[in-house]
């Protein structure tokens, strides 16, 4: 089953240009051009899983107890309380264009004219 999945993943029609096969780019001493070996791409994924598992184990059994022994508390940052005065000031401020995500047609035309006048 794994072989069928790998064969489907490494299909020549997906990865290679027309009229090229994996045998054409297989590394070897008799080749005029040396290509990278495509099978080396299979090594990083298991290695990444090992590193993730190692990180989880180290955090749980070594870093967390060491941090607690230093007096570091395992708490999340507190959310800022709502402040209605600040919210109103933010909404009323003319310098902050938080509601306008796109330029209007007139603004695009004026920017184009300014750019053309400066750079063309």
Q: CB under 8 Å to 91, separation ≥6 — which residues?
A: 98
Residue 115: the pLDDT is 85
What global pTM score does this model have? 0.41
Could you read off the pLDDT of 91-107 as tens digits, one per residue? 777 666 555 567 778 88
At 38, the pLDDT band (50, 70, 90 cuts) reads low
Task: Give percent of the chain above pLDDT 70.
Answer: 92
Could you read off the pLDDT of 50-93 as tens digits, one per residue? 999 999 999 999 999 999 999 998 888 889 899 998 888 777 77
Residue 99: the pLDDT is 55
> Rounded to 10 degrees, what is the CA torsion of 95, 100, 106, 107?
50
- Residue 38's CB is within 10 A of a number of other CB atoms, namely 14
DSSP helix, strand, coil percent of the chain (3-state; round to 5): 60, 0, 40
């Amino acid at each position: 089953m794994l072989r069928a999945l790998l064969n489907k993943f490494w299909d020549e029609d997906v990865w290679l240009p027309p009229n090229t096969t994996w045998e054409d780019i297989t590394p070897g001493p008799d080749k005029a051009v040396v290509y990278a070996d495509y099978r080396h791409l299979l090594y990083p994924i298991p290695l990444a899983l090992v590193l993730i598992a190692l990180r989880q184990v180290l955090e749980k059994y070594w870093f967390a107890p060491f941090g607690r022994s230093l007096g570091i508390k395992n708490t999340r940052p507190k959310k800022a309380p709502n402040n209605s005065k600040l919210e109103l000031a933010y909404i009323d401020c003319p310098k902050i264009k938080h509601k306008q995500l796109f330029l209007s047609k007139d603004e695009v035309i004026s920017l184009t004219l300014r750019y053309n006048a400066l750079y063309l």
